[in-house]
Amino acid sequence: MSRVVFLFEHGINALPSDWRDWTNRAIFHVHDQTPYHAQSLEYFAGPIVAHFRHRHLADGFAKLVCRYAGNGWKIVVVAHSNGARIVVEGLRRARWPRVEELHLVCGAVDANFERNGLNAALYDRKIGSAHVYVAGLDRAMQIEDTLLGRQLFGIRSEPLGLFGPLHVRPSLAGRVHVVRRSPWDEYGHSDCWRARNFERTMDCFTRLTTAP
């Protein structure tokens, strides 16, 4: 059986030392409830610091994913908010190692799949499938859909977490899945990680995985 690892990447203003941080709980969930493995690349930054540290964080994720890919692991990536930007840029810097599934939750990253490189990665089968989660009451994404917000998070047009994927090639439509219906239509930016929603959220990732 192939080894499977979930790589989790959180957004800004997270406290990695706090058990309540969703990545800590997600790692435990994977180890406790599935036969898979999990890891996260932790950092702490507000929006300004994250803007200036973005290249460093993306490089760190690139090294992490390359280490797993180079050792034959099947990889599932789950990223929230600014973590989506880190992951997409990190995968690009790593020259798109194979990822079985990419889950982008309320992503603070450019929604244009042609521009952000995800169309090409999906077409070349570097990514097996992409899953985009859009929260209906996401105030953070509305703030990021401003001139200052787009500049801080490197968004050239619309944020993925607000508009969903844009300019997806027609031939790839069956491998790009958008989740925005109930209960997501009633979620705010981080509500999917609340205790009452956490198990359902994790099920989205673990039951969808195509890895053995």
140-162 confidence digits (pLDDT tens): 888 877 766 667 666 777 899 99
Confidence of residue 45 (pLDDT cuts 50, 70, 90): confident
Query: What Rg, from alpha-carbon coordinates, does the chain have?
Result: 16
What average pLDDT does the chain have? 91
CA distance 73 to 66: 10
103, 118 Cβ separation under 8 angstroms: no
Residue 52, pLDDT score: 67
Asked if 84 and 104 count as a contact pair (C-beta separation under 8 A), the reply is yes
User: What is the mean predicted confidence (pLDDT) over 11-34?
Assistant: 89
Mean per-residue pLDDT, 163-169: 96
Domains belonging to the chain, first-starting first, are 4-196 (3.40.50.1820)
Residue 65 has pLDDT above 60, yes or no: yes
Q: Report the pLDDT value the prediction gives residue 49, as an integer from 0 to 100.
A: 59
* Nearest CA among 15, 84, 8 for reference residue 40: 8
Q: What are the strands, taking DSSP E only, across the chain? A: 4-9, 37-40, 74-80, 99-105, 127-133, 176-179
Q: What is the pLDDT of residues 81-137, one digit of tens each?
A: 999 999 999 999 999 999 999 999 999 999 999 999 999 999 999 999 999 999 999
Asked whether residue 78 carries a pLDDT value surpassing 80, the answer given is yes
Predicted confidence at residue 42, as pLDDT, reads 87
